[in-house]
């Protein structure tokens, strides 16, 4: 073609670029600074981007960099590939090329895959050094080293350094002696998929933290699956929400559960209400089905109701007898249907009665939020129609299921999420003339800086503060946790459902306010000194490591004149309690009709110990609960009561009268 | 696609006169002007389609006589084509063209770009789109250097000494942009 004297008119560039494939757009961008700028800004590139299904940049173990994209400019998907070569560092060049394409198409690098056994230890190290600081949504690791355990250290290093934010797919087949501590992963994942799970141990299943866990080709047997179910029924709750596991033998789910069961009617096989209504029967056998692209898939299994109200479903597909699944129904998290790749931030702000919750999804692209309405600066409303669904809320106290409607909006913010949430909560609070009552934070989902931002944004006083997050295996985060506890501003109730490492410690004297209730779900880190110092009306300690001797020590100290800063203590010890051995001295058995009579207790002076047996009617509908203990009269006239419930021998009560 | 091309001569009743920037007058059949949204709107606004309205010559100051001649050739050829619609079956993103179009647009780039501007000014979408597709077809599968040649793009980036493929020095790009990639002169076999 003869060279002309003028450039292609800018008015035509739109039209020409629209006809380009993504490769041609990239090559055109190479021509000059101006063409690169045109490619980045011209609207037809956006059009091309919309049709772009994916764009991969990868290298092989020799010298080539591969570019490949799939897109559907019309109706069918086509795939285009290109090989490039570099005399430079291949890893760095691949990274640079990926960055360049990311820049042209205004799209982050979402996936990183590595066939690690194509490279030696040093090369893998270089690759991970180049990619470790660039978090990606999805990470795929492949490589078969089942006959070579010498490379296990390299594999461990890769897994420790990878930076997946949502999905990790491990198509690796390591030697059977390979092991990895999943708590070393940098991020908490949504999905962890392991294609060859022969190296996964039972302990790992117990500890792995992710939402969805898929284990294929495991060495586990039905007995392991059953053990998992039994553990859950005994109170253990996993760090995942769903698990799908391929066992090394067929499963008969009917032999995985023990106890009386009810067959659910076909129309009720997914009904939470019916499952709850069948209480106290815990096992609800179901046969159900779902549709997928291959047709109707039938399945059967059990919905298991636990005494704490949690429900888990276990089952198998009728045509895949080796694959069992285990799913927890997470009521408290208000799980809503969302697109597969939308990350939910478990971070919300609640007004009285919990009638409004706000979820923020992953930040959308700038171009998409600019189209959204923005009635509050920085808060973007994609539409004005809330999704409405009906929520069944089962109240164990009222022993009934109530129906409420829930209206949900997904909003986006171009600001930092904490200040966006703060702003929205303030706005709603202003509209409804109601102060925020609760601030809940799942702190382990955020890094220290994010937690700092959140606490800075939510430093104003609230009635209740709720902290969740499991960092049992990660003491490096203890400082962050300490900072959160110091800076929270609860006025009445603090619920600590967090599970820190056993070496975590906190001085409760650092609390900003004196609380009414302090409820600690995992109290293994609580010391006797903590109990002596903490200031609140009611102190509830679950799963503590303290023993009866400690409980007795508290009683003895009180009898010797010490008075705690709390009025009621409920503590779950790490062994059964025999209250009769917790007190020493002469005692009187109170008559049943006098077991709550202060007058009688005082009248028995100088005998200090008043043994009683009592009962109360549970308002949970579970009938009468029996208890026994002592009213202890101290020489200064104060009375304390210690007791245990007859069906909860690990839980001791200590109450100032 | 090809169409019959009946030979018709413009008559005073069914034509208008357009005047190019260099003063040359062209008698245009009203039927032909339907392909140009600019001319069609002008004719409608001034009611030049009525026989009793005096039709003044229409000055086209942005179009030379050579371009006008070329455009009339296009309009004549597509006289009986259906009305252009962007997404109709006559529109194709493919890079195959009928022989007549290939011959018609076998012209130097500068003339092509001028014709493109004229098609844009007169709003003749079929011509505009066809030229764009021709331009895209000349770029597809080409290196950046070849694209520069085709589109007459002045380079402001360094070229790789071996391959001639440009090395970007765009300061606005990220620090680990493309600038450090160099390509080997003879790629090893895969």
Q: ipTM value of the model?
A: 0.71
pLDDT at residue A496 above 90?
A: yes
Instruction: Give the per-residue pLDDT at B172.
Output: 36
At A231-249, the pLDDT tens digits run 999 988 888 888 999 999 8
pLDDT at residue A362 above 50?
A: no
- At A503, list the tokens: 């070496």
pLDDT at residue A350 above 80?
A: no
B133 touches chain A (CB under 8 A): yes
At A642-651, the pLDDT tens digits run 998 887 788 8
Domain assignment present for B4: no
Which residues in chain A have their CB less than 8 angstroms from residue B150's CB? 1
Which of B107, B123, B139 terminates a domain? The answer is: B139
d(CA A527, CA A506): 10
d(CA A210, CA A191): 6
Reading across the β-sheet that carries A64-71, which strands appear in turn?
A: A52-59, A64-71, A78-85
Coil/strand/helix, residue B151: helix
A100/chain B closest Cα distance in angstroms? 6
pLDDT at residue A369 above 50?
A: no
Query: In terms of Cα–Cα distance, which of A434, A506, A424, A431 is closest to A458?
Result: A424
Q: Which comes out higher in pLDDT, residue A563 or B170?
A: A563
Residue in B closest to A99 by C-alpha = B177
Which residues in chain B have their CB less than 8 angstroms from residue A30's CB? 144, 157, 165-166, 168, 178
A47-51, A345-349, A402-406, A463-467 — which is least confidently predicted?
A345-349
Which residues in chain B have their CB less than 8 angstroms from residue A59's CB? none
Nearest-by-Cβ selection for A62 from B117, B165, B190: B190
B172 and B98 fall within a common domain: no
d(CA A19, CA B137): 9
- DSSP strand pairing (A648-656 vs B15-20): unpaired
d(CA A222, CA A252): 8
Domain assignment present for B185: no
Nearest-by-Cβ selection for B143 from A27, A83, A86: A27
> What number of other Cβ atoms are within 10 A of residue B39's Cβ?
23
Which of B139, B154, B169 terminates a domain? The answer is: B139
Decide if A16 and B113 are in contact by the 8 Å CB cutoff. no
B151 and B61 fall within a common domain: no
A49-63, A189-203, A294-308, A440-454 — which is least confidently predicted?
A49-63
At A27-47, the pLDDT tens digits run 788 788 888 888 777 655 555
At B125-146, the pLDDT tens digits run 999 989 988 888 888 877 777 8
- At B86, list the tokens: 């962007």
Is the separation of the CB atoms in A75 and A26 below 8 Å? no
A149-158, A165-174, A281-290, A401-410 — which is least confidently predicted?
A401-410
Rounded to 10°, the helix A478-487/A448-457 angle is 0
B3 touches chain A (CB under 8 A): no
A12/chain B closest Cα distance in angstroms? 6
Instruction: Give the per-residue pLDDT at B177.
Output: 25
pLDDT at residue B103 above 80?
A: yes
Task: Name residues 36-75 of chain B within 8 A of A (Cβ).
Answer: none
Rg of the Cα trace of chain B? 22
Report the number of secondary-structure helices (H) and strands (E) in chain B: 7, 5
Nearest-by-Cβ selection for A11 from B120, B166, B182: B120
Decide if A20 and B140 are in contact by the 8 Å CB cutoff. yes
A653 to A2, A542, A551, A571, B127: CA distances (angstroms): 95, 12, 9, 7, 89
| Residue A280: cis peptide before it, omega within 30 degrees of 0 | yes
pLDDT range class, residue A437, cuts 50, 70, 90: confident
Residues whose CB is less than 8 angstroms from the CB of residue A456 and which lie 6 or more positions away in sequence, other chains included: A418
Domain assignment present for B190: no
B62/chain A closest Cα distance in angstroms? 15
At B3-61, the pLDDT tens digits run 434 444 555 567 889 999 999 999 988 889 889 988 888 888 888 777 777 778 888 88
Instruction: Give the per-residue pLDDT at A406.
Output: 65
Which residues in chain B have their CB less than 8 angstroms from residue A104's CB? none
Decide if A100 and B140 are in contact by the 8 Å CB cutoff. no
Domain assignment present for B1: no
d(CA A2, CA A16): 19
d(CA A283, CA A305): 7
- The mean predicted confidence, pLDDT, of chain B is 73
Which residues in chain A have their CB less than 8 angstroms from residue B173's CB? 36, 100, 103
Domain assignment present for B21: yes
- The mean predicted confidence, pLDDT, of chain A is 78
Q: Which comes out higher in pLDDT, residue A17 or B100?
A: B100
B63 and B151 fall within a common domain: no
Instruction: Give the per-residue pLDDT at B24.
Output: 94
A270-279, A319-328, A520-529, B114-123 — which is least confidently predicted?
A319-328
At A313-330, the pLDDT tens digits run 898 887 777 777 787 664
Q: What is the mean pLDDT of residues A51-56?
A: 58
B114/chain A closest Cα distance in angstroms? 9
Instruction: Give the per-residue pLDDT at B186.
Output: 27
B96 and B171 fall within a common domain: no
Coil/strand/helix, residue A609: strand
Domain assignment present for B3: no
At A517-571, the pLDDT tens digits run 999 999 999 999 999 889 899 999 999 999 999 999 999 999 988 889 999 999 9
B67: domain CATH number is 3.30.710.10
pLDDT at residue A170 above 90?
A: yes
- At A551, list the tokens: 């409980």
Nearest-by-Cβ selection for B109 from A1, A28, A86: A1
At A1-15, the pLDDT tens digits run 334 445 777 778 878
pLDDT range class, residue A602, cuts 50, 70, 90: confident
pLDDT at residue A186 above 80?
A: yes
Coil/strand/helix, residue A80: strand
Number of domains in chain B: 2
Instruction: Give the per-residue pLDDT at A516.
Output: 92
B111 and B150 fall within a common domain: no
Chain A and chain B share a number of CB contacts under 8 A equal to 153
Q: What angle do CA A451, A455, A456 make, to 5 degrees?
A: 115
Please state which CATH number belongs to domain A347-572.
3.80.10
Which residues in chain A have their CB less than 8 angstroms from residue B153's CB? 7, 31-32, 34-35
Reading across the β-sheet that carries A648-656, which strands appear in turn?
A: A347-350, A438-442, A462-470, A490-499, A515-520, A536-541, A568-572, A648-656, A639-645, A624-633, A609-617, A587-589
B73 and B158 fall within a common domain: no
Which residues in chain B have their CB less than 8 angstroms from residue A80's CB? none
Instruction: Give the per-residue pLDDT at A26.
Output: 77
Q: What is the mean pLDDT of residues A608-623?
A: 74
B163 and B69 fall within a common domain: no
At A411-433, the pLDDT tens digits run 666 667 777 777 777 777 777 66
B107 touches chain A (CB under 8 A): no
Interface test with B, best of A16, A23, A26 (most B CBs within 10 A): A16
B110 and B154 fall within a common domain: no
Decide if A100 and B178 are in contact by the 8 Å CB cutoff. yes
B75 and B154 fall within a common domain: no
B94/chain A closest Cα distance in angstroms? 9
pLDDT range class, residue A78, cuts 50, 70, 90: low
Which residues in chain B have their CB less than 8 angstroms from residue A87's CB? 182-185
Query: In terms of Cα–Cα distance, which of A443, A445, A429, A423 is closest to A350?
Result: A429
d(CA B10, CA B8): 7
Residue in B closest to A104 by C-alpha = B173
Nearest-by-Cβ selection for A4 from B110, B155, B156: B110
d(CA A630, CA A611): 4
B146 to B120, B141, B150, B166: CA distances (angstroms): 26, 9, 6, 11
Domain housing B120: 12-79+88-139
pLDDT range class, residue A198, cuts 50, 70, 90: very high
pLDDT at residue A229 above 90?
A: yes
Which residues in chain B have their CB less than 8 angstroms from residue A9's CB? 113, 116-117, 120
Domain assignment present for B163: yes
pLDDT at residue A267 above 70?
A: yes
Query: In terms of Cα–Cα distance, which of A618, A644, A639 is closest to A559?
Result: A639
B139 touches chain A (CB under 8 A): yes
A263-277, A350-364, A540-554 — which is least confidently predicted?
A350-364
pLDDT range class, residue A343, cuts 50, 70, 90: very low
pLDDT range class, residue A598, cuts 50, 70, 90: confident
d(CA A555, CA A413): 54
- At A251, list the tokens: 């499963």
Which residues in chain A have their CB less than 8 angstroms from residue B142's CB? 27
Decide if A12 and B120 are in contact by the 8 Å CB cutoff. yes
pLDDT range class, residue B78, cuts 50, 70, 90: very high
d(CA A583, CA B15): 118
B109 and B158 fall within a common domain: no
Domain boundaries, chain A: 234-330, 347-572, 579-656
Domain assignment present for B157: yes
B48 and B18 fall within a common domain: yes
């Amino acid at each position: 073609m003869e060279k002309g004297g003028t450039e292609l008119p800018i008015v035509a560039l739109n039209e020409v670029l629209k006809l380009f494939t993504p490769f041609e757009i990239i090559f055109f961008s190479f021509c000059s600074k101006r063409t690169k700028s045109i490619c980045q800004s011209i609207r037809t590139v956006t059009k091309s981007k919309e049709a772009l299904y994916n764009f991969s940049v990868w290298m092989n173990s020799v010298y080539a960099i591969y570019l490949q994209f799939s897109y559907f400019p019309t109706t069918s998907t086509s795939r285009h590939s290109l090989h490039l070569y570099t005399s430079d560092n291949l890893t760095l060049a691949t990274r640079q090329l990926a960055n360049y394409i990311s820049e042209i198409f205004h799209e982050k690098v979402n996936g990183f895959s590595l066939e690690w056994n194509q490279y030696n230890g040093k090369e893998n190290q270089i690759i991970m050094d180049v990619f470790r600081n660039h978090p990606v949504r999805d990470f795929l690791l492949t490589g078969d080293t089942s006959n070579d355990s010498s490379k296990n250290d390299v594999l461990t290093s890769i897994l420790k350094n990878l930076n997946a934010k949502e999905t990790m797919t491990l198509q690796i087949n390591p030697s059977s002696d390979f092991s990895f501590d999943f708590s070393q992963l940098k991020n908490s994942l949504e999905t962890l998929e392991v294609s060859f799970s022969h190296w996964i141990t039972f302990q790992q299943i117990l500890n792995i933290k992710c939402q969805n866990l898929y284990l294929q080709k495991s060495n586990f047997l039905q007995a392991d699956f059953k053990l998992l179910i039994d553990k859950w029924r005994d109170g253990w709750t996993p760090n995942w929400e769903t698990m799908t596991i391929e066992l090394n033998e067929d499963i008969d789910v009917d032999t995985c559960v023990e106890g009386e069961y009810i067959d659910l009617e076909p129309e009720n096989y997914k009904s939470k209400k019916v499952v709850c209504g069948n209480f106290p029967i815990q096992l609800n056998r179901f046969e159900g089905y779902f549709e997928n692209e291959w047709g109707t898939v039938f399945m059967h299994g059990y919905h298991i109701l636990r005494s704490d109200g949690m429900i888990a479903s276990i089952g198998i597909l009728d045509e895949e007898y080796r694959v069992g699944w285990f799913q927890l129904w997470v009521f408290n998290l208000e799980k809503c249907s969302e697109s597969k790749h939308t990350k939910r931030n478990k971070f919300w702000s609640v007004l009285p009665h919990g009638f409004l919750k706000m979820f923020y999804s992953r930040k959308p692209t700038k171009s998409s939020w600019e189209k959204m309405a923005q009635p509050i600066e920085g808060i973007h409303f994609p539409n004005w129609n809330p999704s409405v669904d009906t929520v069944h809320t089962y109240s164990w106290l009222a022993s009934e299921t109530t129906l409420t409607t829930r209206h949900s909006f997904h909003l986006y913010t171009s600001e930092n999420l904490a200040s966006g949430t703060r702003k929205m909560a303030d706005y709603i609070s202003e509209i409804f003339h109601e102060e925020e009552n609760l601030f809940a934070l799942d702190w382990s989902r955020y890094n220290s800086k994010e937690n700092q931002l959140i606490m800075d944004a939510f430093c104003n006083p609230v009635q209740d503060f709720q902290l969740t997050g499991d960092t049992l295996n990660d003491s490096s985060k203890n400082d962050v946790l300490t900072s959160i506890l110091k800076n929270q501003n609860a006025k009445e109730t603090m619920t600590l459902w967090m599970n820190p490492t056993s070496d975590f410690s906190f001085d409760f004297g650092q609390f900003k306010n004196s609380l009414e209730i302090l409820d600690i779900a995992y109290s293994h880190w609580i010391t006797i000194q903590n109990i002596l110092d903490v200031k609140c009306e009611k102190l509830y300690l679950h799963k503590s490591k303290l023993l009866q001797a400690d409980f007795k020590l508290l009683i003895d100290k009180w009898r010797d004149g010490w008075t705690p800063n709390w009025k009621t203590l409920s503590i779950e010890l790490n062994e059964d309690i025999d209250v009769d051995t917790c007190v020493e001295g002469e005692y009187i058995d109170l008559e049943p009709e006098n077991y709550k009579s202060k007058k009688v207790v005082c009248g028995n002076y100088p005998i200090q110990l008043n043994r009683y047996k009592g009962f109360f009617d549970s308002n949970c509908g579970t009938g009468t609960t029996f208890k026994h203990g002592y009213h202890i009269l101290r020489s200064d006239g104060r009375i304390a009561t210690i007791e245990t419930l007859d069906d909860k021998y690990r839980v001791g009560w200590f109450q100032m009268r | 696609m090809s169409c019959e091309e009946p030979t018709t001569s413009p008559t005073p009743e069914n034509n208008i006169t357009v005047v190019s920037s260099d003063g040359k007058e062209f008698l245009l059949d009203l039927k032909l002007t339907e392909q140009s949204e600019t001319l069609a709107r002008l004719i409608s606004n001034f009611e030049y389609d009525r026989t009793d309205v005096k039709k003044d010559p229409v000055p086209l100051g942005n179009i030379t006589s050579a371009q006008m001649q070329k455009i009339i050739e296009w309009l004549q050829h597509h006289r009986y084509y259906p009305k252009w619609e962007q997404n109709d079956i006559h529109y194709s993103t493919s890079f195959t063209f009928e022989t007549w179009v290939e011959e018609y647009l076998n012209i130097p780039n500068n003339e092509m770009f001028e014709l493109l501007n004229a098609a844009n000014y007169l709003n003749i979408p079929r011509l505009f789109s066809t030229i764009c597709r021709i331009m895209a077809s000349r770029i597809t599968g080409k290196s950046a250097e070849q694209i520069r040649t085709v589109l007459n793009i002045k380079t402001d980036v360094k070229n790789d000494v071996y391959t001639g493929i440009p090395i970007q020095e765009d300061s606005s790009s990220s620090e680990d942009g493309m600038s450090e990639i160099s390509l080997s002169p003879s790629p090893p076999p895969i």
